[in-house]
Structure formats: structure tokens, C-alpha cells
């Protein structure tokens, strides 16, 4: 249910959860001052309690309430990429962050989102903790309708239209004297070179037993359909998620991910397309993974690979074995 900014302000201040737009994906927001609302986020999403939340702020100085320990180049990164789709993990004073929000870790993840509506809320309410506004394991929400599909028509959403980037923020952390990528995202690894003088490495495989981001342990972005990844586009068959300029001779139907010349467009519509498979009741589809691996393509390939992991949901949540 679409709500105004002032209604969102009221709900957040009174300890309720609302969905808000960001430039990456919609977020499920709670005031960092409201522990019951933070608990509610985990319940609503079906999110494992060991998976911490990103603290969203309006201004870099607000971080001083949580830490005074800033790794090399932190300020340059903040100046270059904030507001924007960069999340930085920093050591914190553990007493300053609700234990539920940071899952008891000695660190927290911070970002300033680049969306005028949500920045206005952050100015009024103060820091908001928010994960992506989707049921745990499902594709993130990039439109209000996606949030309503997961949490019901009556769920309060500030409608900011379509999220421009369409994939989540890039998460980095500092270790062994350099920044490393803990989650690929909307900012490609190469974009950091001009600030850092090097391209940060992606660390910890998706199935690593101790990934830096606990969220990487879990199955993600997955529609109900079984996705088969195909690295040779000419072999794609059946229902194909493919590119507009390719003619798939073995395909029964092609659902286009966009054009091979524009990864930004592919990223923007990626989750909408994965969600469409569920809406149409499609059980199996073949994904054309025959594309470059540089820049944003690396993020797109990673999301599609995660979406293709098929692990039965168990009471132990959707943990990747």
C-alpha cells in the first residue's frame, strides 16, 4: 500500500517497519532506536538471526556515533561514492549498535543511499537499519509491486518508482592493508581503482564456510523455477532468458534480459524478470550466461548463479550446504 513520506515518518517513529526505495533495491526499514521493529524485520523476512543489517545514514559524520576507527582511504571512498551504492564494513563500538542489528559482530555495515525520498526520511528519523525488502531467499524488490507481492497489498511502501541500479550495493571491508569486496554489487570492482590505486579483490567464495558477509551463506535471488545456466548461447533451449540481439534457434520462448551492449539495463530489470517467472508459473528456464565477466557483468553473473542454486528450503532456513 502506497504511503506518503509523512506517514512513513510517523510509522518509523512509532516503531513500525516500512518499505522504502533506494537507488539499488527497495529496503525494509526500521529506526535503529526501535529494537522491536528490528526484531520485526527478521520475522517478516524469515531472515536468519546471524545475518546482520546495513545501517543507512544521511551524512558521513553520523558514523561517529558508532566508531572512531577508519581504515585507510575511508574518507576518499565516502567522498567519491556516497550517497550511492557502496556499503562499507567498519569496526564498531559494540555497545553503540543494537546487538540484533549487527548480529553480535564487532563490525557494522554502513551506507548512504542515493534516493531523495529515503534521504529525507533519514534526515528526519535518523539512522535506519534495512535489508532488501523481499522474503529471505527470493529476488530483491525493485518496484513497489514486488514488495507487495512478498508482504501483502496492505504493507506500507513509500513508492519511489523503479530502482535505477536494480542490484544491491557493493560491500567492501578492509583487511590485510587493503580493501576487499565482500559482495559484488552495483559499483563494479574496476571503479575503485581511481580512488584506491588498485582493484579490490572479491574475497571468500559464495560457498565459503565463513564468508565476510553472513548473508552470502544463504540461497538468494531465487525464483521457484529451476534455472539452468548455459555458457554457450547457441545451446540455450526451452524457455530462454537471453539477449535481444541473439537468435536462439533451440528456444521455445525467449524472455529478454536486455541487450548485451548495456549491462546497466540488464541489471535494472534482472529481479523483475526473475519474479516474472514465478508470476507465470514457469518451472524451468535456461539462462544465457555467455557474456563478459568484467564490470557490472560480474555482478549479474553472480546473481544469476545464486538464483540457479536449488536447495530445498528447510526449517534451518535456506542455507547453502
Binding-site ranges for ligand TXA (CB under 6 A) = 22, 24-25, 27, 51-54, 85, 87, 89, 102, 105, 107-109, 113, 130-132, 168-169, 171, 183, 212-216
CB of 162 to ligand TXA, least distance (A): 14
Site string for Mg ion, 114-133 (x = CB under 5 A): ------------------x-
21 binds, among Mg ion, ligand TXA, none (CB under 5 to 8 A by kind): none
Q: Which does 241 bind (CB under 5 to 8 A by kind): ligand TXA, Mg ion, none?
A: none
263 binding partner (options ligand TXA, Mg ion, none; Cβ < 5 to 8 Å by kind): none
**β-strand 18-20 against 27-31: which pairing, if any?**
antiparallel
Widest CA span in the chain: 60
Decide which of Mg ion, ligand TXA, none touches 169; Cβ closer than 5 to 8 Å per partner kind.
Answer: ligand TXA
> Which residue, 136 or 248, has its beta carbon nearer to Mg ion?
136
Report the distance separating Cα 202 and Cα 185, nearest Å: 11
Angle between helices 296-307 and 263-279 (to 10 degrees): 20
Q: How far is the CB of 5 from ligand TXA (least distance, A)?
A: 17
For Mg ion, the closer of residues 142 and 243 by Cβ is 142
Grid-cell match 559482495, residue found = 183
Closer residue to ligand TXA (CB): 100 or 226: 100
Q: Shortest Cβ distance from residue 201 to ligand TXA (Å)?
A: 16
Taking CB atoms, the residue at the shortest distance from ligand TXA is 215
Q: For Mg ion, which is the closer residue by CB, 132 or 216?
A: 132
Rounded least distance, CB 107 to ligand TXA, Å: 4
Beta bridge partners of residue 19, listed in sequence order: 28, 157
Ramachandran bin of 37, using left for φ above 0, alpha for ψ from -120 to 50, beta for the remaining angles: alpha
Q: Count CB atoms within 10 A of the CB of residue 131.
A: 23
Residue 132 or 180 having the CB closest to ligand TXA:
132
Q: Which is nearer to ligand TXA, 3 or 89 (CB)?
A: 89
Residue 171 interacts, among Mg ion, ligand TXA, none and using kind-specific CB cut-offs from 5 to 8 Å, with ligand TXA
Does position 142 bind Mg ion by CB under 5 A?
Answer: no
* Spatial distance between the Cα atoms of 275 and 166, rounded to a whole number of angstroms: 13
214 binds, among Mg ion, ligand TXA, none (CB under 5 to 8 A by kind): ligand TXA
CA 193 and chain centroid, separation = 23
Q: How far is the CB of 236 from ligand TXA (least distance, A)?
A: 29
Instruction: Supply 158's cell numbers.
Output: 513509500
Alpha-carbon distances, residue 246 vs 61, 300, 304 (angstroms): 49, 18, 19
DSSP assignment of 255-287, as one string?
A: EEEE-TT-HHHHHHHHHHHHHHHHHTT--EEEE
CB nearer to Mg ion: give 132 or 230: 132
Binder of residue 318, out of Mg ion, ligand TXA, none (CB less than 5 to 8 A by kind): none
Could you tell me the three cell numbers for 113? 543511499
Q: Dihedral sign for Cα 258, 264, 267, 272, please.
A: negative
Neighbours of 151 (CB within 10 A): 20
Dig out the grid coordinates for 134 from the structure: 523481499
Closest Cα partner for 204 from 184, 186, 178? 184
170 lines the binding site for Mg ion (CB under 5 A): no
User: Does residue 24 belong to the site contacting Mg ion (CB under 5 A)?
Assistant: no
Residues found near Mg ion in the complex (CB under 5 A): 132
Amino acid at each position: 500500500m502506497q504511503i506518503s513520506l509523512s506517514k512513513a515518518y510517523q510509522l518509523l517513529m512509532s516503531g513500525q517497519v516500512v518499505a522504502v526505495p533506494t537507488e539499488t533495491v527497495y529496503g525494509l526499514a526500521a529506526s535503529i532506536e526501535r529494537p522491536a521493529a528490528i526484531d520485526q524485520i527478521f520475522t517478516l523476512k524469515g531472515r536468519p538471526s546471524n545475518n546482520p543489517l546495513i545501517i543507512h545514514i544521511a551524512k558521513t559524520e553520523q558514523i561517529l556515533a558508532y566508531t572512531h576507527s577508519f581504515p585507510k582511504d575511508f574518507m576518499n571512498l565516502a567522498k567519491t561514492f556516497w550517497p550511492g551504492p557502496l556499503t562499507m564494513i567498519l569496526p564498531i563500538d559494540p555497545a553503540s549498535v543494537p546487538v540484533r542489528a549487527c548480529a553480535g559482530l564487532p563490525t557494522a555495515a554502513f551506507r548512504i543511499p542515493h534516493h531523495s525520498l529515503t534521504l529525507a526520511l533519514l534526515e528526519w528519523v535518523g539512522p535506519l537499519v534495512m535489508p532488501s525488502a523481499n522474503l529471505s531467499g527470493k529476488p530483491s524488490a525493485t518496484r513497489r509491486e514486488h514488495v507487495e507481492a512478498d508482504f501483502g497489498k496492505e504493507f506500507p511502501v513509500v513508492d519511489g518508482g523503479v530502482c535505477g541500479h536494480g542490484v544491491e550495493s557493493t560491500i567492501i571491508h578492509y583487511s590485510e592493508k587493503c580493501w576487499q569486496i565482500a559482495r559484488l554489487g552495483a559499483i563494479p570492482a574496476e571503479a575503485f581503482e581511481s580512488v584506491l590505486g588498485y582493484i579490490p579483490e572479491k574475497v571468500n567464495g559464495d560457498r565459503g564456510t565463513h564468508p565476510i558477509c553472513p548473508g552470502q551463506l544463504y540461497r538468494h535471488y531465487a525464483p521457484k523455477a529451476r534455472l539452468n545456466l548455459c555458457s554457450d548461447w547457441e545451446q540455450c533451449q526451452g524457455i530462454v532468458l537471453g539477449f535481444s540481439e541473439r537468435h536462439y534457434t533451440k528456444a521455445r520462448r525467449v524472455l529478454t534480459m536486455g541487450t548485451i551492449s548495456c549491462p546497466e539495463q540488464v541489471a535494472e530489470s534482472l529481479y523483475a524478470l526473475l519474479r516474472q517467472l514465478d508470476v507465470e508459473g514457469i518451472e524451468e528456464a535456461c539462462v544465457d550466461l555467455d557474456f563478459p565477466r568484467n564490470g557490472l557483468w560480474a555482478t549479474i553473473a553472480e546473481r544469476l548463479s545464486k538464483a540457479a542454486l536449488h536447495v530445498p528450503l528447510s526449517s534451518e532456513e535456506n542455507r547453502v550446504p
